[in-house]
Structure 1
Amino acid sequence: MSNSVVGASVEKDLLDVFILAKIDDFQQKLIFVLNIRRLDHLSHVQEKELQTIGLSQSQIREMRKAASEIRERVNRRSTQSEMVYIENRNLMESTSADLNRAIIPKEQLKLMEAIGEGTFSVVKRAIWYHPSGQKLEVAVKILRNASPSFMEELEVEASHLLKLQHSNLIRLYGVVQQPAMMVFELCEGGELLSRLRDTSKPAPLVTTLLEYCLQIVKALTFLESKHVVHRDVAARNILLSKNEKILL
């Protein structure tokens, strides 16, 4: 499975090794599958790992030889190695293909009242008139002033969400390109933080809180199995369904 990062900063000296050893055709796999980003990483990668991406024994020998030559050159140099940004081409191609299958025409959506608002977006309740004839209540995240670079990051995030199907993960149905919108499953229970602070309702039982924790763990365990990290697990970012099921 290809690494899910959009790109990576890589030492130019390492790229010189790939060119000198004539294995630059394997550059994407070396960087994004084996996570080799620096010259010294070559000292730790095992031969069997290199063989899994298609390198032959003779190519591996040439790579080791080239690495030794480049190290000698680096040792004679007083300046630090230059870093070069390399895009993950495989990810960008798969991202584009995934999004093309999940584009929702804006004409299929009827926007209703706002149910949430942040610095960069507003979330509205909406009706999605699906081509099958089904009407579905959804939550639409409308992005404000999305720059081209932000849209690229958003497309990558959306492509990941489209692949992640779990009962405790909020479902992304698709995206609208212009204006930039993301169409999500509607979580009628609202934010977990609001539920915990809501004095108009009885406080959740300890058993209920424990069940919340177990569901969060299940969602995070699933994400870990897919090599995905949720970088902001907090009550404000955890939602509840109508029957108070946890949704990350």
Structure 2
Amino acid sequence: MGEAVYIEEALQDVLKETDLVNFERKLCVELQLSRLEHFDHVTDDELKSYTGLSQPAIRRLRVAIAEKKKKSKKSKGIFSSIGRKESREVTKVLVPTSTPELLWTFPENGGTSLIIKEEIKLMERLGEGSFAVVKRAVWTPKIGQKLDVAVKILRDSTPEIIEDLQREVTNMQKLKHLNLIQLYGIVFQIQL
């Protein structure tokens, strides 16, 4: 038995052309880059740190994606889509469910935990709310697997804000779905 992930056929062609098929699972499943357009929103540094791709391999991948996009635009003339429903060609990629990374959850009991500040590397700001700033971060737990996460940093810790945060944490612990944000844990004492 396996879990199926759909990716664009053009992306699979690019991975074959650049000899990066071995990275298909990391790119398409773990990073959820299933279309050529998705690579527009990923930096070279992110590709390097999450997949282990070398800089020359990333360059080859970027060039191949750009060429594939150009060919795709040229093949789609002005009149080619008239009278036709546009459909993207996708290829099914099977992902074995017995792979340890897929079965492992953060933390092992599936709940939340206290996360050590040194395991979190803060990146760019994603957004801002009424009582917190949200930043992208990379979490590297003790087992060494890197995970892209969002970190909410409280501006103040008044009783009202702590109460709101507790409600939010309680609600997030109840949510369990592949496409929803999962609460892994709480880090204390990260300064803005």
Instruction: Give TM-score scaled by structure 2 length.
Output: 0.48
Structure number with higher relative contact order (C-alpha < 8 Å, ≥ 6 residues apart): 2
Looking at CA atoms only, which structure, 1 or 2, has the larger radius of gyration?
1
